[in-house]
Amino acid sequence: MHNPETVIPRPEYPRPLLMREAWLNLNGTWSFQMDADNIGMSLGWFAAGLPSPANIVVPYPVESAASKIHAVAPAEVVWYEREFVIPAEWSERVMLRIGACDHWTRVFINGQEVGQHRGGYAPFGFDIGHALIDGINRITLRVEDSLSWTQPRGKQAGTTRWPIDYDSVTGIWQTIWLEPLPMVCIESTAFEYKLASAELMYTVGFSAQVDGLLEVAISDHGSVITSASAQTNLRSETRLRFVIEHPQLWSPDTPHLYDVSLKLTNHQANDIDTVESYVGLREISTADGALRLNEQPLYLRGVLDQGYFPEGWYTALTDEDIRRDVQLTLAMGFNCARKHQKAEDPRYLYWADKLGLLVWAEMPSGRIFSTELVEALTSEWIDLVKRDRGHPSVMAWVPFNESWGVWHQAERPAQRAFVDGIVGLTKALDTSRCVVGNDGWEFSSGDLWTLHLYFENRDVVTRLDELIADPSKSVTDEYGGHERAGALPAAAVAGLPILLTECGGIGFGRYSDSDFSYGDIPQSEEALGQHIREITDMIDAAGSLQGFVWTQLTDIQQEINGLLYFDRTPKLPLPTLRAIITSVGRNLGD
């Protein structure tokens, strides 16, 4: 059962903001068993072993071809198991980390349960040193998922779905690994940069309260340009202030990154943790109805990106596939990706940081308002904001989309309070980015007023003018039997930047009779290009807009409205698409 591979899938270190030298990648072949009758716990599979396992390739989800299971409708309970040996040179405590596993995960080491986690998108980890033995150890995971919409699940609908939903994702879908750590370690970074004062506030989070010394050095091209230190004073978080002379700012045109070295000395345990990271100096702001980057006008040319990959589904087969998606997005003339209904792999955010792509980070929705949804979404959203607020590419947080899970805000105060509460909570965790409370319609609170218009029947300029004059007007003529107002009563939209954050959706290239797109399907590449130009010309004519997000990057299952086929082949030549996309909003800034 010990992993025999010499080539490990997804071998790169999975947390680019917190790089450590010593680690053991547990990706590869595991034993796997479905538990359709939910008998594994009562029969003690965690201790006795899986009775008749198949092989699965981790970290690809059960539904994917790359996993070698490729079960479109797996059991609600599945089990994973493999053996590992701790490197002899590891003398510190050992932490097991899982990038993401959907949805309820229980972890056993040598038959002993070491922890549980609920949520399909945020990372988690457990100290497993107390359960380890000399020699070969066994790790067992029990994972339970469901098709209930009371849990956040984004576009995962299983085999019965809306035209805009896809098959589900079950189990491990990001890297799982081990690393040796001191008693208290560095767990997160965050930053806020103010251009006017050239001031960088850099926040470092720890795994526990610690009496120690934090030292941070910032380098450029291998040379330290500034450093600072502070006593941690029995806190679990410390902030340091830097002023960098002649700063090189981060932007899509010049995505400059500074290297950051962090060292935490724990006075009580007399041990040290060191981490390598990076930071980009940039300021996102709004003023007088305009969106700004580094105090310059920013016109957002975004694309809706669902984050699904051939063969790997939620999981790219290789890190290069992730890089290619970022490069293709930039090559088409977009400066932003709205990662839609998926909390993306941190490796995507790394390449966005590195190559210069702005990102909207979105929380996958549930669709049934309940106490369970409030608890699950809030808990996981906090973890995701903490995970990603160190990435300079992330410019906006989107906790809700199109009122999914909070369908009745206009009539039910509890649902509106949930949205407003999450907006406030997000701002408490991070004041350096825009928050889009509910993207699409029914604005209640946030920094941007964002609307979804798909142009089926009416001119976008006219519709926008009507909404600006009266935000209570419906964005959609009818949606699921309900009209959706642009803004809820007493919501203050005056003076906010206005963005069209879903539009386009033009289908092209039929696969089957169940194909879905917004509107008629052009019958030639020439007609496709003409249709895209007609819509982008309307967007460009809407001078009130500060940007748009085009639906969508790729085809996925029945949705054929991608600018790329699912295999990433462009439907029109990349230079043609780039000329169209970059022609929009030239007079309003880049």
Same domain for 433 and 397, yes or no, is: yes
Residue where one domain finishes, among candidates 179, 204, 220? 179
Residue where one domain finishes, among candidates 179, 214, 229? 179
CATH number assigned to the domain comprising residue 204: 2.60.40.10
Distance CA 325, CA 559 (A): 18
φ/ψ (deg, to 5) at 269: -95, -10
| In a domain? residue 532 | yes
| In a domain? residue 292 | no
- The predicted model scores a pTM of 0.96
Which pLDDT belongs to residue 478?
Answer: 46
Which pLDDT belongs to residue 221?
Answer: 95
φ/ψ (deg, to 5) at 135: 85, -135
Order of strands, sheet of 212-220, starting from the edge strand that comes earlier in the sequence: 223-231, 212-220, 258-266, 271-279
Per-residue pLDDT band for 476 (boundaries 50, 70, 90) equals confident
- Please compute, for residue 550, the number of CA atoms within 13 A of its CA located in the half-sphere on the CB side: 30
CA distances from 216 to 42, 186, 246 (A): 50, 12, 19
Same domain for 546 and 409, yes or no, is: yes
Same domain for 165 and 202, yes or no, is: no
Same domain for 275 and 322, yes or no, is: no
Q: 422: alpha, beta or left, given left = phi > 0 and alpha = psi -120 to 50?
A: alpha
Task: Quick: pLDDT tens for 10-66.
Answer: 999 999 999 999 999 999 999 999 999 999 999 999 999 999 999 999 999 999 999
Same domain for 344 and 483, yes or no, is: yes
Same domain for 96 and 195, yes or no, is: no
Token readout for 348 is: 């995507």
Distance CA 585, CA 395 (A): 19
The DSSP symbol for 174 reads S
| In a domain? residue 74 | yes
| In a domain? residue 7 | no
Same domain for 508 and 541, yes or no, is: yes
Task: Quick: pLDDT tens for 458-470.
Answer: 577 888 888 999 9
CATH number assigned to the domain comprising residue 307: 3.20.20.80
3-state secondary structure of 565: coil
Which pLDDT belongs to residue 404?
Answer: 96
Residue where one domain finishes, among candidates 164, 179, 194? 179
Same domain for 269 and 388, yes or no, is: no
Same domain for 265 and 369, yes or no, is: no
Task: Sort strands 394-398 and 358-362 into parallel, antiparallel or unpaired.
Answer: parallel
Distance CA 342, CA 413 (A): 27
In terms of DSSP H, where are the helices of 301-456? 319-331, 346-355, 371-388, 413-429
Same domain for 169 and 213, yes or no, is: no
Mean pLDDT of the chain: 94
Query: Residue 446's closest CA among 407, 406, 498?
Result: 498
**Residue 4 pLDDT > 80, yes or no?**
no
Task: Quick: pLDDT tens for 151-205.
Answer: 999 999 876 667 899 999 999 999 999 999 999 999 999 999 999 999 999 999 9
Burial class of 195 by CB neighbour count within 10 A (0 to 12, 13 to 18, 19+):
middle
| In a domain? residue 151 | yes
| In a domain? residue 233 | yes
Which pLDDT belongs to residue 513?
Answer: 81
| In a domain? residue 568 | yes
- Rounded to 10 deg, the angle between the 574-582 and 525-541 helix axes is 20
Per-residue pLDDT band for 519 (boundaries 50, 70, 90) equals confident
How many domains does the chain divide into? 3
**Residue 272 pLDDT > 70, yes or no?**
yes
**Residue 587 pLDDT > 90, yes or no?**
no
CATH number assigned to the domain comprising residue 51: 2.60.120.260
- Tokens 């954050």 label which residue? 501
Same domain for 513 and 369, yes or no, is: yes
Print the domain residue range for 215.
Answer: 186-279
Same domain for 142 and 167, yes or no, is: yes
| In a domain? residue 18 | no
